[in-house]
Structure 1
Amino acid sequence: MVTTGFVVEVAPWDSPDGRRLRAAQRAELVAAYDGDVEPGTKPTAADVNVFLLARDAAGEAVGCGSLRHLGGEAAEIKRMYVAPAHRGRGVSRLVLGALEEQALSRGWTVLRLETGPLQAEAIGLYTSAGYAPVPAFGPYVGSTTSLCFERRLGSGQPTGQHG
């Protein structure tokens, strides 16, 4: 997928670019929330089914995102991140669209995600892309720093099933 000078490609979870971007994301979140408040099992190469990198025209990895299958037709979006210098240029929307395409190609029609209340830009991206707030699911139930969203691909509507 190519748009606005950026390309999104499937990459190994453990690629150096992927590790660098995920470390930057974790550092931002730890600073914003004054510690690591992520509930549940952190994603790894063993449980992430798809990892994508966004590259600029020079080939620099500037964003990423991944999918973790939750069972049946559902998957969770994990580790969506765009480097600060590249924000506001459509990279996150490009990665999100590519993740949705990857999900559909695997027969996954329900995408869920968790973000935090301090991540206004992420909330704006997801709601503008058709993700609706849903009750916390899985490891996020009871978390005071988790906001959960869901989208049924192709309809833009939440499924009404949570868990």
Structure 2
Amino acid sequence: MTGGSVAEEWTIESVSWDDERAVALRAAMDEEISPRYAEVYAGFDDETRAALDEDFAVDPATMVEVILVRDAGGVAVGHAALRRLGDELEVKRVFVAAPARGRGASHALMGELERLGRERGAARLILQTGNRQPEAIGLYEKLGYRAIDIYPPYVRFPASRCFEKVLAG
């Protein structure tokens, strides 16, 4: 699979939520992204922080697809997932390790999620990101996602930015 504007071959692999490479990539994502929101999060009282923790928790049983993107050397450099959220399919935990950025890995991941969404009969994919992740917002907009109202369970977090992409048949 070729991704992005730079010609590079990527291999997409379906894995379980608890695949050790997937777990490591999600941990790297948390390590990079969490500090961006620490100040915002600290401004909430304990009750609100507890509610937000619940809102953002991911139940592995709701995951319908978990994919990794591997580079030419076979190293997993990116992660993304689809989860069932009510009647919708939601994009979750899109992350590409810093050394692989700018070479089309995120495009490969998102393209595969869209293909899987269509395969599952989804009319659209939805996603939530935050206002302190301009690179993510830019990626989604470049890929044709459009801003939508903040949807549950993210409505308590004012930094949320939500998007959708209608999937063509």
Aligned to 1:28: 32
The CA distance in 2 between the partners of 1:6 and 1:44, in whole Å, is 28
The CA distance in 2 between the partners of 1:117 and 1:98, in whole Å, is 25
TM-score (norm 2): 0.84
Aligned to 1:9: 13
Residues 1-163 of structure 1: pairs in structure 2 closer than 5 A: 2-3=1-2, 4-34=8-38, 40-72=55-87, 74-154=88-168
The CA distance in 1 between the partners of 2:38 and 2:104, in whole Å, is 28
Structure index of larger Rg:
2
TM-score (norm 1): 0.87
Structure 2 gap ranges (5+): 3-7, 42-51
Q: Deviations over 1:85-119 (max 9, x none)?
A: 11111100110000000111111121110111111
The CA distance in 1 between the partners of 2:39 and 2:97, in whole Å, is 20
Assess, with a 3 A threshold, how the Cα gap between structure 1 residues 134 and 20 changes in structure 2: closer, same or farther: same
Assess, with a 3 A threshold, how the Cα gap between structure 1 residues 77 and 29 changes in structure 2: closer, same or farther: same
Could you list the runs of 4 or more consecutive aligned residues of structure 1 that deviate by over 3 angstroms after TM superposition? 35-39
Q: CA deviation at 1:41?
A: 4.2
The CA distance in 1 between the partners of 2:94 and 2:40, in whole Å, is 16
Q: Deviations over 1:34-78 (max 9, x none)?
A: 279566142242111100000001111000100011233x21100
The CA distance in 2 between the partners of 1:125 and 1:53, in whole Å, is 18
The CA distance in 2 between the partners of 1:116 and 1:36, in whole Å, is 11
Assess, with a 3 A threshold, how the Cα gap between structure 1 residues 79 and 35 changes in structure 2: closer, same or farther: farther
- CA RMSD of the aligned region, Å? 1.7
Higher relative contact order (CA 8 A, sep 6+): 2
Structure with the bigger percentage of helix: 2
Structure 1 gap ranges (5+): 156-163
